[in-house]
Amino acid sequence: MDNILNTKLDRLEQTNVQILDVLQSMKTEMTGMKSEITGIKSEMTDFRSEFNDFRSETNEQFSEIQERFEFMVETAVTKTEFDQTIHDIRCEMATKDQFIHFTDRLDAKFLDLKHDIIAGIRASDKKFLKFAI
């Protein structure tokens, strides 16, 4: 009877040791997972910070482009003003150089606007691709 009891106690002790081993390895795995989660959380925080910086810079660039566009629209010469100026220039017997200067000024304003819009779009695309990759 003592032998049977000792055998059962030995089996129970072995089972207990196996359960403790499984629990210990689960604890080790969970500790590893916890550190991985902490690393991912840190990366996500960094990404959020970078994304907020990107958003802020993009908003600033958009605001600058919008302000320049509004300025150019406000200061742009309308077709009526353009026609009237041409008429006035002709009436005043303006030189060809004066006329060319006036049209060059008008072309330059719209060219600046085009370049600003393209530069803003390219800068936004580059920053977006940086985050997409």
- Note the pLDDT tens digit of each residue in 46-63: 888 888 887 787 778 778
Residue matched to tokens 């960094």 = 46
Instruction: Supply the pLDDT for residue 133.
Output: 54
Confidence class of residue 64 from pLDDT cuts 50, 70 and 90?
Answer: confident
Across the range 105-118, mean pLDDT stands at 77
Least confident of 2-6, 39-43, 56-60, 77-81: 77-81
pLDDT-derived band at 14, boundaries 50, 70, 90: very high
Residue 22 has pLDDT above 80, yes or no: yes
